Amino acid sequence: MTLTELLDEAKVVPLSVEGDLDVIISGIHHDSRQVNSGDMFVCCIGETSDGHSFVPQAAEQGAVVIVATKEVEIGESVKAVVIVSDTNSILSALAGAFYGRPSESLAVVGITGTNGKTTTSYLLRSIYESMGLKTGLIGTISYSIHGKHKQDAPHTTPDAVYLQKLMATMVHNRTEVCVMEVSSHALAQDRCKEIDFDVAVFTNLTRDHMDYHENEDSYKEAKGKLFASMVDPARHRKVVNIDDPNAGYFVSLGNPKVPVVTFGMEKSADVHPLDIQLTLFETNVLVKTPRGNIEISSGLLGRHNVYNILAAVSVGIAVDAPLEDIVRGIEEVDSVPGRVELVDEEQPFAVIVDYAHTPDALSRLLDTVRECGPRRIITVVGCGGDRDRGKRPVMAKIAAAKSEVCIFTSDNPRSEDPRKFERSYYPPIWNGNRVFVYDLRKIAVRAAVAMGEEGDAVVIAGKGHEKYQIIGKERKYHDDREECREALLHVDMLHASGIDTSEIPWK
């Protein structure tokens, strides 16, 4: 594709162009480290870096076109310089045009909300696959192309260029449906601006990412961009959790004539439960839908997963999926990595690993576990370093109030000293239950498991599927699930870590 063709197809009107408009472009990047010979380099401006500073590196690696907001020094390889008013705002358009707008060849389901996106995406992928459709997945845990080419996900929603490339790969591999988690960051940064969504799903909205968004209203408005794209009544569908106080806002966005399917616990919802049975090992739900009742037996635990099941059922109803495919798809998902995931080494108590890292998610998680009737709840929780500090005392209060034993620890401390984290979790929140602080997460997890007795539930919250701790700028391997298994199999390892379990007053 030539530079002229790309600018025309992307509908980008530059302030100026110097050089060869017929130069052939072989790729697009905004990270100079990924540039190859023949590529276009777009000088995007991030929170901590400015792409204009990396033009020499991009040129050295063979960039033939530079897109910038100001004059830059270029090397011999560069054949053209395009000046625009805002590089960030046109990146999606350039990427969409270069890769042929692949989302237009897919049925794209976008899921937004604070909690529940990942589990809902897994359920929906399974439903579509039960319908015989090749389905790709883009989300927090991984990116996959109808079950193949699975890779870890560095971000819930990829950057604009990689997102278009990933969808183009899906189309090339004859994928028919893409189920996608849509983060507030991605929406605010217009990474999804060139994605042609068919279904928009809203799970819930609670406090999160206040380190990025100015306030809760801007957070909500970012999420709302997905629903604002629902404008075609013949093709688009909205699926909304009507129990959330923000439901009306999301329903109102876009074209009011676009069909809406609501879900929730109350009878006023289009999709709602008639009966719920919860245990620490299984969830059974009788669901009423506009097309009849369905019975679902799921390995996903807890009331919050009932909401995720209802969301998936609602999408199935919205796209006219057969009821038997909806049920089969949901029941085939035994677990989702790091989402109320049971670690079972035949111990006489439950060990649960979960990604809950917001006040609302932690509260729901502990309520879910309590509803299953454990003798005690032993909770390990931490909050990310260099992130929203305001939620730390809130989460501490929730954990202490809803657990018999609570252990505060680190969770990606980054540049902060984990030994000083305990000051962030105070002031006084103690309610007579046991509270401990361990700066090393590995020690905290092992201690919690060592405390477990018959009938207890040990809850390790915050990291879920993640397999690392960010300490300083370095990612160090850490997997809560592996640590739990190691502790269950070798509790004596605690002693080697300097903890005398016989002296800790957890009884």
CATH number at residue 31: 3.40.1390.10
Residue 416 pLDDT: 84
Q: Are residues 166 and 207 in the same domain?
A: yes
Residue 6 pLDDT: 98
Tally the C-alpha atoms within 13 A of residue 294's C-alpha that lie toward its C-beta: 25
Q: Is the dihedral of CA 200, 201, 205, 207 positive or negative?
A: negative
Q: Which candidate, 49, 37, 30, 136, places its Cα nearest to that of 89? A: 30
Asked if residue 328 is part of any domain, the answer here is yes
Q: How far apart are CA 256 and CA 268, in angstroms?
A: 19
Asked if residue 104 is part of any domain, the answer here is yes
Q: How far apart are CA 465 and CA 462, in angstroms?
A: 9
**What secondary structure does DSSP assign to 68-79, as a single string?**
ESS-----TT--
Asked if residue 503 is part of any domain, the answer here is no
Asked if residue 33 is part of any domain, the answer here is yes
Residue 157 pLDDT: 64
Q: DSSP H helical segments within 61-116, as ranges?
A: 87-98
Q: Are residues 208 and 289 in the same domain?
A: yes
Asked if residue 505 is part of any domain, the answer here is no
**Mean of the pLDDT values across residues 171-177?**
96
**Mean of the pLDDT values across residues 208-235?**
81
Asked if residue 193 is part of any domain, the answer here is yes
**Mean of the pLDDT values across residues 133-159?**
78
CATH no. for residue 353? 3.90.190.20
The confidence band for 90, taking pLDDT boundaries of 50, 70 and 90, is very high
Q: Are residues 488 and 366 in the same domain?
A: yes
Q: Are residues 359 and 307 in the same domain?
A: no
State how far the alpha carbon of 88 is from the alpha carbons of 72, 118, 161, 165, 193, in Å.
17, 27, 11, 17, 11
**Highest mean pLDDT: which of 46-50, 79-83, 215-219?**
79-83
The boundaries of the domain holding residue 116 are 100-332
What are the residues facing 470 on neighbouring strands? 475
Residue 437 pLDDT: 86
| The residue count for the chain | 507
Average pLDDT for the chain: 90
Per-residue b/e over 178-194, b at no fewer than 16 CB within 10 Å?
A: bbbbbbbebbbbbbbbb
Model confidence at 423: pLDDT above 70: no
Q: Are residues 31 and 134 in the same domain?
A: no
Q: How far apart are CA 386 and CA 416, in angstroms?
A: 7
Which of 98, 123, 157 is at the close of a domain? 98
Q: Are residues 203 and 250 in the same domain?
A: yes
Model confidence at 387: pLDDT above 90: no
Instruction: Supply 466's token pair.
Output: 């993640």
| Residue partners of 507: CB distance under 8 A and separation at least 6 | none
**Mean of the pLDDT values across residues 451-473?**
92
Asked if residue 215 is part of any domain, the answer here is yes
Render pLDDT for 267-313 as a digit per residue (tens, 0 to 9).
999 999 999 998 877 899 999 999 999 999 999 988 889 999 999 99
Asked if residue 253 is part of any domain, the answer here is yes
| Residue partners of 287: CB distance under 8 A and separation at least 6 | 271, 272, 273, 274, 293, 294, 295, 296, 309, 310, 313
Cis status, amide bond into 427, omega within 30 of 0: yes
Residue 152 pLDDT: 63
CATH no. for residue 239? 3.40.1190.10
Q: Are residues 296 and 366 in the same domain?
A: no
Q: Are residues 369 and 270 in the same domain?
A: no
State how far the alpha carbon of 291 is from the alpha carbons of 239, 272, 284, in Å.
16, 12, 20
Q: Are residues 303 and 394 in the same domain?
A: no
Which of 64, 98, 132 is at the close of a domain? 98
Q: Are residues 39 and 108 in the same domain?
A: no
Q: How far apart are CA 441 and CA 466, in angstroms?
A: 13
In the chain, the number of structural domains is 3
**What secondary structure does DSSP assign to 167-220, as a single string?**
HHHHHHTT--EEEEE--HHHHHTTTTTT---SEEEE----S--TTTSSSHHHHH
Q: Are strands 405-411 and 434-437 parallel, antiparallel or unpaired?
A: parallel
Rg, Å, the chain Cα set: 24
Instruction: Supply 226's token pair.
Output: 């997905």
Residue 434 pLDDT: 78
Which of 77, 98, 119 is at the close of a domain? 98
Q: 237 vs 502, which has greater pLDDT?
A: 237
Instruction: Supply 102's token pair.
Output: 């692949």
Q: Are residues 44 and 192 in the same domain?
A: no
Q: Are residues 173 and 193 in the same domain?
A: yes
Q: Is 312 helix (H, G, I), strand (E, B) or coil?
A: helix
pTM: 0.82
Q: Is 428 helix (H, G, I), strand (E, B) or coil?
A: coil
Q: DSSP H helical segments within 377-501, as ranges?
A: 391-401, 422-425, 441-451, 480-489, 493-496
Residue 207 pLDDT: 55
Q: Is 414 helix (H, G, I), strand (E, B) or coil?
A: strand
Model confidence at 261: pLDDT above 90: yes
